[in-house]
Amino acid sequence: MSERYFAAKSKDMNTRRKFLRQTLLGSLAVGNAGRLFDQLDINAPNVKNAFPVVISTWGPNIKANAAAWQVLSSGGYALDAIETGIHVPEANPEDTSVGYGGYPDRDGHVTLDACIMNEKGMAGCVTFLEHIMHPISVARKVMENTPHVIMSGDGALQFALDQGFKKENLLTKEAKKAWDLWKIEAKYEPVINVERHDTIGMLAMDMQQRLCGGCSTSGLAFKMHGRVGDSPVIGAGLFVDNEVGAAVCTGLGEMVLRTVGSFLVVEEMRRGKSPQKAVEIAIKRIVKKYPEQSKDAQVAFIALDRKGRHGAYSIHPGFNYVLYQDGENRIIESTSLLDK
Ligand code: GLY
């Protein structure tokens, strides 16, 4: 389906929402109307079982979502589901923006960022990590086996090796070829929705209503050596609060870092906004702050609340996500703020 179709669909939904809001505002005291409107959210689960549930950024992560669901549907822990699910793109050489097969930085190094957060508000992150296939698992070890939250670079690698991880070459022939081609012009230019995948961000709630999240990425292709994006930064790329909900992000990390995007989404849910409304507020904040940069850069959020309601929104069309809920794993096109 075309981008034009999704833009039209988005407009249609906005008109419907506007009508509902006006109807509510007309018949109710203004103070309560906003809250009641949020309860009529378009993404409210019309399903028998709102949880367990798992949601991931980008359609190609449908297999990752299915792997996470296997853990959840057998009564497993949401954190195990996140780790199991994220292993899928991390080990996939065809995914050029996560783990093995990820495009290198401008100096030819594949450097990885990841983080994980559990229902107790504990977090672990690795930044600028090389040679380890599963940075999400190293992030979990940081959370569980150290008093720290973030480990970086050589220190993170040394820690991973001490924890029993294997040192591997993550630069595939294909990624090296892409790097060799890039070097001809060496033009640094973020591109919207390259191949319709990017960071994997995943949120899961298990049968015991424990909410956990994680994300993993090789970051921007051909980035400056040493660059770290939003994905391993708690509050920016990911935030989980079991009392409220969780959010995770994909896209140009710099714009998310400056606006602490995922934290903003969760705080808006804490203030009573639905997950959909909350992600829309975060995207609008980014575009308002950085109108010029937003013309050529994509950012998208997905969010999940304790009721199992979800939200998804991006700056530009082209973002999609995967939702596994009530036994069905579906790729869903996100609505977006701009129509191209
Ligand atoms: N969102 C991934 C990055 O900017 O590195």
State the distance from the centre of ligand 1 to the C-alpha of 231, rounded, in angstroms. Answer: 6
Domain count of the chain? 2
Is 57 domain-assigned? yes
Q: Which residue out of 57, 84, 199, 259 is catalytically annotated?
A: 199
CA of 113 to the centre of ligand 1 (A): 8
Asked if residue 37 belongs to a domain, the reply is no
User: Is 0.85 topped by the overall pTM?
Assistant: yes
Is the minimum distance from the CB of 253 to ligand 1 under 6 angstroms?
yes
**Is 128 in the same domain as 242?**
yes
Q: Which residue has the CA at smallest separation from atom 5 of ligand 1?
A: 219
Residues 232 and 115 in one domain: yes
Q: Which of 105, 198, 225, 234 to mutate to test the pocket of ligand 1 (most atoms within 8 A of CB)?
A: 198
Q: 103 and 7, same structural domain?
A: no
Q: Which CATH number is 215's domain given?
A: 3.60.20.30
Say how many Å lie between the CA of residue 200 and the centre of ligand 1.
10
**Ligand 1 touching residue 261 (CB < 6 A):** no
pLDDT at 337: 97
Distance from the CA of 49 to the center of ligand 1, in angstroms?
33
The residue whose CA has the least distance to atom 4 of ligand 1 is 253
Pocket lining: 232 vs ligand 1, CB cutoff 6 Å:
no
- pLDDT for 185 equals 85
Q: Domain for residue 38, yes or no? A: no
> Across the 340 residues of the chain, what is the mean pLDDT of every consecutive 10-residue run?
33 38 34 38 68 96 98 98 98 96 96 98 98 98 98 98 98 96 82 70 98 97 95 98 97 96 98 97 98 94 97 96 96 94
Choice from 252, 286, 301 to test ligand 1 binding pocket (greatest atom count within 8 A of CB) = 252
Say whether both 8 and 148 belong to one domain: no
Domain annotation covers residue 41: no
* Same domain? 330 vs 231: yes
Domain contains 43: no
Q: Two tokens at 122?
A: 């504990």
Identify whether 164 is part of a domain.
Answer: yes
Judgement on whether residues 23 and 86 belong to the same structural domain of the protein: no
Six token digits for residue 59: 């359609």
SS (H, E, C) the chain: CCHHHHHHHHHHHHHHHHHHHHHHHHHCCHHHHHHHHHHCCCCCCCCCCCCCEEEEECHHHHHHHHHHHHHHHCCCCHHHHHHHHHHHHHCCCCCCCCCCCCCCCCCCCCCEEEEEECCCCCEEEEEEECCCCCHHHHHHHHHHHCCCCEEEHHHHHHHHHHCCCCCCCCCCHHHHHHHHHHHHHCCCCCCCCHHHCCCEEEEEECCCCCEEEEEEECCCCCCCCCCCCCCCCECCCEEEECCCEEEEEEECHHHHHHHCHHHHHHHHHHCCCCHHHHHHHHHHHHHHHCHHHHCCCCEEEEEEECCCCEEEEECCCCCEEEEEECCEEEEEECEECCCC
Are 275 and 156 within one domain?
Answer: yes
pLDDT value for 47: 75
Q: Does any ligand 1 atom lie closer than 6 A to the CB of residue 229?
A: yes
Structural domain that includes position 14: 3-30
Is the CB–ligand 1 distance for residue 251 below 6 Å?
yes
Q: Which atom of ligand 1 is nearest to 229's Cα?
A: 5
Cα(236) to centroid of ligand 1, in Å? 10
Q: Which atom of ligand 1 is nearest to the CA of 223?
A: 5
- Return d(Cα 198, Cα 262) in angstroms, integer: 17
User: Are residue 8 and residue 135 in the same domain, yes or no?
Assistant: no
Q: Tell whether 125 and 20 lie within a shared domain.
A: no
In ligand 1, which atom is closest to the CA atom of 250? Answer: 1
The owner of tokens 């040394």 is 158
Find the 257 Cα to ligand 1 centroid distance in Å.
9
Q: 84 and 20 share a domain?
A: no
Asked, for residue 44, whether it belongs to a domain, the answer is no
**35 assigned to some structural domain:** no
233 Cα–ligand 1 center, Å: 10
Q: Check whether residue 89 and residue 234 sit in a common domain.
A: yes
Any ligand 1 atom below 6 A from CB of 206: no
Q: How far is CA 99 from CA 92, 111, 298, 319, in A?
A: 8, 8, 21, 21
Q: Are residues 230 and 261 in the same domain?
A: yes
**199: annotated active-site residue:** yes
